[in-house]
Amino acid sequence: MCTCIAEIKTSYTKVRKQAEEVASQSFDMDDFLDAINVVKKELARVTDETNALVELVRDHFTEITVDEAKELLDLSEPIQKKMQVVYLKLLASPFNVGLETATDHYRQAMSDFDELCHDMKTFNIDLAQNDHFQQTLKKVSEMMHR
């Protein structure tokens, strides 16, 4: 059982809230530069939170059980959807020209989070429940302890 599951869940909550805040932003064109700065700041914050979440889960990846991985993936799905909505809004936004670097950093964080979710499903769930893989792992372990 992962000893840091509560910390990981808190980090998930932060990323979800940040993504929702960025998604709900709307700005008047008269405040173009101010709006770009506000969006950049919020985008940097959700990017940083996402990067911190990915790092936290990666640091404890081998401790996460099948049930914990399933729970975290359930938490991940709405975040991934919201992040995709935010990204598409950013690309379609008239502010996009002033947000290219921040958008690229956000896209990379989003991609890292998607990869983490894929890895968690593959390694923490699928392979953990695959009898053939578990038998092979056991044989390798026995060979190493001879």
Between 80 and 146, whose confidence is greater?
A: 80
For residue 137, tell me if it sits in a domain: no
- Would residue 145 count as lying in a domain? no
Which of 50-54, 120-124, 129-133 comes out lowest in average pLDDT? 129-133
Position 32 in a domain: yes
Whether pTM exceeds 0.85: no
DSSP code, position 24? T
Rounded mean pLDDT, 135-140: 84
- Cα gap 139→121, rounded to integer Å: 23
Q: How confident is the model at residue 27 (pLDDT cuts 50, 70, 90)?
A: low
C-beta separation of 54 from 108 below 8 A: no
According to the model, what pLDDT value does residue 29 have? Answer: 46
Please report, for residues 13, 52, 58, 134, the alpha-carbon distance to residue 17 in angstroms, rounded to integers and kept in the order given.
6, 14, 21, 38
Domain annotation covers residue 9: yes
pLDDT band (50, 70, 90) for residue 19: confident
Residue pair 63/2 in contact by the 8 Å Cβ criterion: yes
Please report, for residues 15, 77, 79, the alpha-carbon distance to residue 10 in angstroms, rounded to integers and kept in the order given. Answer: 9, 16, 13
28 within a domain of the structure (yes/no) = yes
Q: How far apart are CA 43 and CA 40, in angstroms?
A: 5
pLDDT tens track for 77-129: 999 999 999 999 999 987 788 899 999 999 999 999 999 999 999 999 998 88
Domain total of the chain: 1
**Residue 104 lies in domain:** 5-128
Choice between 74 and 94, residue whose per-residue pLDDT is larger: 74
